[in-house]
Amino acid sequence: MKPSPKTTYHHGDLRRTLMNVSVKMIDKKGVEALNLRELALLAGVSSGAPYHHFANRGELLGAIAQEGFEMLAAAMTKQRDLAPESSSARLAALGQAYVLFATSHRGHFRVMFRVETAGSAKPTASTFAADHAFGLLTEAIKECQQTGAAPQGDPQLLVLHAWATVHGLATLLVDGGLSKIDLTPENLASMMTHLTGQLFAALAVTSR
């Protein structure tokens, strides 16, 4: 006997409902579990209803990725602006916001860096949103260079190092890879971002 569709969702904005249900499904079961037929069942609508808003699964994932990057950029900007007036503190704040966003929005985070949503050669709203978030980090690294808190030269490698550090930590936390470490995501993010700042400062001194 098939389960009856849930009817608890308000469908004044079906697109919003479909995205919300998708994010919850991905959070619990992973991206591979997402399909439009089951999504329609969970949202309490007909099997064809999702196609009025998303042509296919990839388009739905792209919309989730775009929203995720927009939310990430907003979280990073907010924490940067609340940080003390030093370039290294603002860089650390961006990294901490990145990690805490990932652990608080696991459904979005699991979608944002997938090949089908981030690897297209054709620019999309999702890639523009991702570029905005990445640009915040690049600006922070350049500011660190200007204030002597990071070594001079091409900032690209420094940006890559900082991003790889927080993204790797975020991915391990989201996927449960650090379950044996008895530290909160907040503490881990703070420790790792400050360690990155210390590394950059040390490199700045030795490169003079």
pLDDT at position 136 is: 96
pLDDT at position 9 is: 45
Q: How far is CA 71 from CA 64, 89, 117, in A?
A: 10, 21, 16
pLDDT at position 115 is: 60
The amino acid that residue 79 corresponds to is Q
Q: Residue 28: pLDDT above 80?
A: yes
Whole-angstrom Cα distance, residue 44 to residue 35? Answer: 14
Q: Residue 49: pLDDT above 60?
A: yes
Q: How many CA atoms lie less than 13 Å away from 95 in the CB half-sphere?
A: 30
Whole-angstrom Cα distance, residue 25 to residue 79? Answer: 28
pLDDT at position 11 is: 53
Work out the average pLDDT over 15-39.
91
Of 147, 146, 145, whose CA–CA distance to 159 is shortest? 145
- To which residue do tokens 């089908």 refer? 116
Per DSSP, 26 falls in state H
Most confident of 95-104, 123-132, 171-180: 95-104
Q: Share the mean pLDDT of the chain.
A: 88
Q: 62-206: what fold?
A: Tetracycline Repressor; domain 2 (1.10.357)
Assigned token pair, 164: 């790889």
Spatial contact of 189 and 166, defined as CB atoms under 8 Å apart: yes
Spatial contact of 31 and 61, defined as CB atoms under 8 Å apart: yes
pLDDT at position 7 is: 44
pLDDT at position 4 is: 44
Assigned token pair, 6: 């849930």
Give pLDDT tens digits for 100-133.
999 999 999 999 988 665 444 455 667 778 899 9
Work out the average pLDDT over 45-50.
85
Work out the average pLDDT over 46-52.
85
Of 121, 207, 86, 111, whose CA–CA distance to 158 is shortest? 207
Portions of the chain given CATH number 1.10.357.10: 62-206
Q: What is the pTM of this model?
A: 0.87
Portions of the chain given CATH number 1.10.10: 11-52
The larger pLDDT score, comparing residue 189 to residue 12, is at 189
Q: Considering the domain 11-52 in this protein, what is its CATH number?
A: 1.10.10
